[in-house]
Amino acid sequence: MKTEYPEINPTERILMGPGPSDVSARVLAALAKPTLGHLDPEYLAVMDDTRSMLQYVFRTTNELTLAMPGTGSAGMEACVANLVEPGDEVVIGVCGYFGARMAEMAERHGATIHRVDVPWGEIIDPAAIGKALADHPATKVVGVVQAETSTGAHQPLEEISRLAHGAGALLLVDAVTSLGCVELRLDDWAIDACYSCTQKGLSSPPGLAPVSFSPAAAEKIWSRKSVIRSWYLDLSLVSKYWSSERVYHHTASSNLGYALYEGLRMVVEEGLEARHARHLYHHRALRAGLEAMGLEYIPDHSLPNLNAIHVAAGADDLVVRKRLLSEYGIEIGAGLGPFAGKAWRIGIMGSSCTQRNVILVLGALESILGDMGVPVPKGAAIAAASEVFASN
Amino acid sequence: MKTEYPEINPTERILMGPGPSDVSARVLAALAKPTLGHLDPEYLAVMDDTRSMLQYVFRTTNELTLAMPGTGSAGMEACVANLVEPGDEVVIGVCGYFGARMAEMAERHGATIHRVDVPWGEIIDPAAIGKALADHPATKVVGVVQAETSTGAHQPLEEISRLAHGAGALLLVDAVTSLGCVELRLDDWAIDACYSCTQKGLSSPPGLAPVSFSPAAAEKIWSRKSVIRSWYLDLSLVSKYWSSERVYHHTASSNLGYALYEGLRMVVEEGLEARHARHLYHHRALRAGLEAMGLEYIPDHSLPNLNAIHVAAGADDLVVRKRLLSEYGIEIGAGLGPFAGKAWRIGIMGSSCTQRNVILVLGALESILGDMGVPVPKGAAIAAASEVFASN
């Protein structure tokens, strides 16, 4: 065994991938405050305020709103495992990696899955969901991804919600990459269950998964006939810890809780409308710059906060990403699945969504691509982005 | 909705409950280092060193050693969910809350459970495990808790290991409250699967769960006939992220990873033998002091690092704990389940295990109990503990 381990000293990155996003000094300072026990009255007060701020960012009055003790994928599995009983029919829209993950989870928890697949990069036509519901009238849950992290596609939800409820089903929404960045209205849009993460739009470190359930979803969970297959993610247990009963379930990480709390405080201070506008505005500048360089977006309906583009013709995917990291400290995302080696995913989320970062990533890409012999019109990207910034 | 949320400013506690234990300034500083992406080469190097140090604290060469992205209970469920297939017969020793939790999880994952129950506070006679194995010769897994956090009982493992392997079963051990505090030897004792947490003997914040699997356990997992019921805890996926393949599974919390790394570095620096001796020595002093006050231990075989005692006759459990917290900033643990209102659990784990804390908690208890009219021999506790400290 090694016996000498160096002091930890990570390089300060600029996190412009699909997550994590940059964590501000303010949030890092909150993270490192003294650890409290999970039943300390001071920490219980932090939990109550966290729930209140989560209700704000989810735009909901749902009582069953809390942070699960795991990453966004734990939030996904918590929603699926609690909502679905063995034999339940479930319609899931799949237009990328995370829709497919949701379907796989639902299958593990015993559901009968009806997938509505569209090619990666596209969004799902609500009519296709409508057809699946007509074909499978016993469907209990419809699951869709608002922000498909693998393709950058931005799925509208309101028509799908109408169709799901018209068919007597509950609507489950993946908001891992959307919460805090784009509009999301649980109550107005009648979303019954929703999960997200802490490390994208909320710019806190990863490790917790905000979830929220409508009264109808809660009713389905409380009236289950079968015990849920995961003990760790069982809401009938976790919710008792978040309720006034405060029944011990797991040892909550107070430090992660502080960081989420501080990230949420920053969202409350900025205001959701202003925050969404900020993401949209920086996206317009980034998009103008990327397209001026000749780079092409993958999805027709792009998220503002996650920009998935085709790897530049003639460029080596891996070399470009490595140079961005080593020369500029910039992390962008690679392609997943069928897009491996073919896509770049540039995130401007939360604290990473700044004019400085947009101009820097455009300038860095122009420099690296030019150096690799990829034909890039000189100065066009910065000019196009600057025009958007100047017009604001 | 509230619109004003105060800055987070937790009181500095002295954490002497069943966990979390005190997190040192050194570990908190590591926690707050700049966030890295979960695929950043610098973070992957941290993971490799973390695995190496986990192998050291587990006393194993097991390749399948890693930290699951959740609390100790996620580690418990990861072990159970991966090792057990529907219909497998499992023998589980239950002498407290956490053995019962393990049995409940195994049931959720489809196992047929044979419980070996003993009264809370006792340890399990290996002969009772032997009898269960004779009664159920198809048993695939034997599960026991080394450190029963609900009762403070310290379970010897070597004879149970011999019996389990003699019957062709694998041995699963809960080391949530023992790792880093008391002797635990995965390879020498032929433990096939083991899980722990970060916030007790390792004195890092909660949120990760170290686990380790022997080659035989790994072989059982890789040759499963059924898909495991939890996607989030599926080792066939998580292990690919920890292997050189680095296949994305979840967004690892680099900050929690730094803190675990730093906590482990402190264990390596101290050395396991010295660390175990430190816990034993402070336990002897604490025990001498508590018993000099007339307080009685619950288990016959007490853990050194978690001291479960009967609530003093004539004292109000809740008032004593509240006064310890408000007047001294000391958190001790309450009783769980049948011990609710009847037990105090005093932890001296990792960074909390100091002479200063032992003397303080004895002095504070003597002061509060005396003030409540509980007859306590004046000065006896401090004198008895001091004698142990002086003799070292």
With CB atoms and an 8 Å threshold, state whether A31 touches B255.
yes
| Residue B7 forms part of a structural domain | no
| Residue B12 forms part of a structural domain | no
B258 lies within 8 A of chain A by CB: yes
**Residues A262 and A202 grouped into a single domain:** yes
Angle at A379 (CA atoms; ends A373, A382), nearest 5 degrees: 120
Give yes or no for residue B392 having a pLDDT over 90. Answer: no
Look up the CATH number of the domain holding residue B342: 3.90.1150.10
**Residues B237 and B339 grouped into a single domain:** no
| Residue B17 forms part of a structural domain | no
Give yes or no for residue B1 having a pLDDT over 90. Answer: no
**Residues B332 and B378 grouped into a single domain:** yes
Of A31, A73, A229, which has the smallest distance from its Cβ to B31's Cβ?
A31
* ipTM for the whole complex: 0.97
pLDDT for res A43 = 98
| Structure confidence by residue, pLDDT tens digits, A336-345 | 999 999 999 9
Q: Using CB atoms and an 8 Å cut-off, which of residues 41-60 of chain B contact chain A?
A: 41-43, 46, 49, 52-53, 55-56
**Residues A134 and A261 grouped into a single domain:** yes
**Residues B311 and B336 grouped into a single domain:** yes
The total of structural domains in chain B comes to 2
Q: Is B182 left (phi over 0), alpha (psi -120 to 50) or beta?
A: beta
**Residues B317 and B249 grouped into a single domain:** no
**Residues A158 and A224 grouped into a single domain:** yes
Look up the CATH number of the domain holding residue A143: 3.40.640.10
**Residues B231 and B296 grouped into a single domain:** no
| Residue A221 forms part of a structural domain | yes
A349 lies within 8 A of chain B by CB: no
3-state secondary structure B39-80: CCHHHHHHHHHHHHHHHHHHCCCCCEEEEECCCHHHHHHHHH
Gap from B310 CA to chain A (nearest CA, Å)? 20
With CB atoms and an 8 Å threshold, state whether B206 touches A17.
no
| Structure confidence by residue, pLDDT tens digits, B183-231 | 999 999 999 999 999 999 999 999 999 999 999 999 999 999 999 999 9
With CB atoms and an 8 Å threshold, state whether B228 touches A108.
yes
**Sequence-ordered list of residues with C-beta below 8 angstroms from that of B230, at least 6 positions apart, any chain:** A77, A81, A108, A229, A230, A232, A233, B77, B78, B81
**Sequence-ordered list of residues with C-beta below 8 angstroms from that of B185, at least 6 positions apart, any chain:** B59, B191
Give yes or no for residue A1 having a pLDDT over 80. Answer: no
Domain endpoint, select from A235, A269, A303: A269
Assessment of whether the complete model's pTM goes beyond 0.90: yes
| Residue A210 forms part of a structural domain | yes
B2 lies within 8 A of chain A by CB: yes
Give yes or no for residue B49 having a pLDDT over 90. Answer: yes
H or E, element range at B241: helix B235-242
**Sequence-ordered list of residues with C-beta below 8 angstroms from that of B130, at least 6 positions apart, any chain:** B163
Residue pair B57/B81 in contact (Cβ under 8 Å)? The answer is no
| Residue B113 forms part of a structural domain | yes
**Residues B325 and B345 grouped into a single domain:** yes
Residue A2 — pLDDT band, cuts 50, 70, 90?
confident
The residue assigned the tokens 């932890």 is: B347
Residues of B in Cβ contact (< 8 Å) with A207: 69, 207, 253, 255-256
Give the pLDDT mean for B78-103: 98
Probe site for chain B from A253, A269, A336 (most B CB atoms < 10 A)? A253
**Residues A253 and A294 grouped into a single domain:** no
| Residue A370 forms part of a structural domain | yes
| Mean of all residue pLDDT scores within chain A | 97
**Residues A37 and A102 grouped into a single domain:** yes
Residues of B in Cβ contact (< 8 Å) with A45: none
| Structure confidence by residue, pLDDT tens digits, A97-131 | 999 999 999 999 999 999 999 999 999 999 999 99
Of B13, B42, B253, which has the smallest distance from its Cβ to A40's Cβ?
B13
pLDDT for res B3 = 81
pLDDT for res A3 = 81
Of B231, B261, B331, which has the smallest distance from its Cβ to A108's Cβ?
B231
> Range of B299's domain?
271-391
Domain endpoint, select from B247, B269, B291: B269
| Residue A86 forms part of a structural domain | yes
B109 lies within 8 A of chain A by CB: yes
**Residues A129 and A177 grouped into a single domain:** yes
With CB atoms and an 8 Å threshold, state whether A8 touches B15.
no
Tokens found for residue A223: 């009236």
Domain endpoint, select from B228, B245, B269: B269
A25 lies within 8 A of chain B by CB: no
